[in-house]
Structure 1
Amino acid sequence: MAKQEPISAASRPLKIVAGADAFGSSLKDELVAQLRSLNIEVEDLGTTKYYSIGEEVGRRVSQAANSNSSVETRGLLACGTGVGVAIFANKFPGVYAATCLTTAEALNARSINNCNVLAVSGMSTTPEAAKEILTTFLNTPFKSPCPASGSNPWPEDLQAFFEESVQEMSKIGNENAPVADPPCFICSLAKAREDKEFTPVDIMPGGSMKILRETPTSAILRFKAGSVEPAHHHTFGHDLVVTKGSKCVWNLTKREKYDLGVGDYLFTPAGDVHRVKYYEDTEFFIKWDGHWDLFLDEDVAAANAAIDKEKIDAK
Structure 2
Amino acid sequence: MKVSRRRVLGVIGVAATAPLVAACGNRDSGPASVTLMLDWVPNTNHTGLYVAQANGYFAEEDLEVKIVEPGATGAEAAVGSGAADFGVSFQENVTLGRVEGVPIVSVAAVFQHNTSGFAAPLDRGIRRPRDFEGKKYGAWGSASERQVLASLMDCDGGSIDQIEFVDIGMVDPFVAWARGDVDFVWIFQGWTGVEAKLRGVDLRFLGLTELGCVPDYYTPVLITNERMIRERADVVQRWVSAVARGYQFAIDNPAAAAEVLVNSVDGINAELVRASQPWISGKYAEGATRWGEQATSVWDDYSQWMVDHGLQSRLINTAAAMDGSFINNR
**Structure 1-normalised TM-score?**
0.21
Higher relative contact order (CA 8 A, sep 6+): 2
Structure number, greater radius of gyration = 1
Looking at secondary structure, tell me which structure has more strand per residue: 1
Q: Which structure has the highest helix share of the two?
A: 2
Q: TM-score, normalised by structure 2?
A: 0.20
